[in-house]
Copies of this chain bind each other. A is one copy, B any other.
Amino acid sequence: MTEQPTSPLSRRRLLGVGAGAAVAGAVAGVGGAYAATHASADPATAGGGADQASSDDMVPFRGEHQSGIITPAQDRMHFVALDVVTQDRAALAAMLKAWTRAAERMTAGAEAAPGGVVGGGPYRAPEDTGEAYDLDASDLTITIGYGPSLFDDRFGLADRKPDALRDLPGFVGDDLDPARSGGDLCIQACANDPQVAVHAVRNLVRMGFGVVSVRWSQLGFGRTSSTTRNQVTPRNMFGFKDGTNNLKAEDGDALAEHVWVQPADVPGGSAWMAGGSYLVARRIRMHIEIWDRTPLQEQQDIIGRDKGEGAPLGQKGEFDTLDFATKGADGKPAIPVDAHVALAHESRLNGIRILRRGYNFTDGSDGVGHLDAGLFFIGFMRDAHQQFVPMQRALAAKDGLNEYIEHTGSAVFACPPGLGAEDYWGQALFS
């Protein structure tokens, strides 16, 4: 970092703004400087209670791992997959470096670039598009990922490709739309204000003009998983609590085993990926109209939990251990052997677990009288082919939910590790 804060508190007092930056630990100096820049360009907000710099809703941008993975799941998401439209390796690397600066600024509640909305003067296009000008950081995280296609022959990255970064195989029942699948790059922007998430994606796309082009994009309005123990478990569009048994940020050893790529996984040219994680995205259309006409017991048997509490069938509380031996009054297992929670459980998958971080979506209507609603599944894992693929194979073969869902989009991305104080995206990849 170019400057060191003496302490978060003194820095806060010094600037008169930047409380959010101050509590953000590693990013304090940088975030505070950005906040000060922003404030000086906009005196009206410098003292305001709603100023982005006066809240503690900021997630550190830099660290061992990227934020947006084990960060407590925010309520809203904008996810975008991009294609690189240039053949110019240097232009791509430069854009990633510029994105890093912009992403760090925006996660600190500042404008995308120092000129901001109005600081660049009347005769230039603003350096920030402005729709989040009055909004605070809103726990924004911006997470980047690289798709398998980025490592083709265009940019000389073939020898940097991790073995595990391969397109997913097809699964029984897939109905994938190529226009909602794949991509050279992805950006996952999560925030508690959707306008902040959209603003982040839009400004990065704007900065990438001539280098990248939007391939597909997905908004999610409600998180479907908790990623820390103190979050209330949310509900998906089937009305069930989702993510009760998810991996959580507190599960340090399990995260190392199931989420973070270990050095031994990525020898040689792919060593840049150690500390990263693979992101699997699946757009799952839910046929909610059919589901909504299904009796409660059948819904619960398909899921394996009760709908009110979210308790495993045969148990009382949401967090009671899944017990596949418990029998119901009829002598059969209380949780049907092919229930969703059984098929996806580690005990049936040689111990496989993943970190889920998906969102509910509704994308208008489908043209035949129904809402186009569902779950945008996002899972983070150490190796998609060792974890997501066997899990999805089991589900695709037997899950009773398949009568009600359809996978309409699919992608896998390598999310590199977090950034040190002076690092930028693409640095390790292009060096």
Residues of A within 8 A of B (CB): 42, 44, 50, 76, 78, 80, 83, 85, 117-118, 120-126, 128-134, 179, 193-195, 198, 201-202, 205-206, 209, 213-219, 221-222, 232, 234-240, 288-289, 292-297, 299-300, 306-309, 360, 362-367, 369-373
Q: List residues of chain B with CB within 8 A of the CB of A123.
A: 295-297
| Copies of this chain present | 2
Task: Give every chain B residue within 8 A of A221 (Cβ-Cβ).
Answer: 76, 194-195, 198, 219, 221
Chain B min CB distance to A108 (Å): 19
A133 contacts across to B, CB distance below 8 A: 235, 239, 308
Q: How far is the CA of A373 from the CA of B85 in the complex (A)?
A: 21
Check A295 against B219 for contact (C-beta < 8 Å). no
Q: Which of B50, B122, B179, B308 contacts A297 (CB 8 A)?
A: B122
Are A296 and B364 within 8 A (Cβ)? no
Name A50's closest neighbour in chain B (CB-CB).
Answer: B232
The CA-CA distance from A235 to B131 in the complex, in Å, is 5
Q: Which residue of B lies closest to A370 (CB)?
A: B214
Which chain B residues border A299 with CB–CB below 8 Å? 126
Nearest B residue to A364, CB-CB: B217
Which residue in B134, B296, B306, B363 is a CB contact (below 8 Å) of A124?
A: B296
Q: A118-B296, A198-B362 are in contact. Are A134 and B232 (CB under 8 A)?
A: yes
- Inter-chain CA distance A307–B206, complex, in Å, is 18
Contact of A122 among B118, B236, B238, B295 (CB under 8 A): B295
> Which of B125, B213, B236, B293 is within 8 Å of A294, CB to CB?
B125
- For the complex of A and B, list the 10 residue pairs with the smallest distance between their C-beta atoms, beginning with the closest: A130-B239, A213-B369, A122-B297, A194-B221, A195-B222, A118-B308, A214-B365, A217-B365, A131-B235, A217-B364
- Determine which of B209, B240, B309, B372 lies in contact with A44 in the assembled complex, contact meaning CB atoms within 8 Å: B309
B219 touches A362 (CB 8 A): yes
CA of A124 to CA of B293, assembled, Å: 8
Assess the B179–A367 pair: CB atoms within 8 A.
yes
| B194 contacts A235, C-beta separation under 8 Å | no
**Do the beta carbons of B195 and A125 come within 8 Å of each other?**
no
Given A118-B307, A125-B294, A130-B307: A364 and B363 within 8 A (CB)? yes
Given A239-B133, A360-B131, A288–B76 Cβ distance below 8 Å?
no
| Docked CA distance A194–B306 (Å) | 24
- A125 engages B293 (CB within 8 Å): yes
A selection of 24 A-B contacts at a CB cut-off of 8 Å is A44-B308, A80-B371, A117-B239, A118-B307, A118-B308, A120-B296, A122-B297, A123-B295, A123-B297, A124-B295, A125-B293, A126-B299, A133-B235, A133-B308, A179-B367, A195-B221, A195-B360, A202-B288, A202-B362, A202-B371, A209-B289, A215-B365, A217-B364, A221-B221
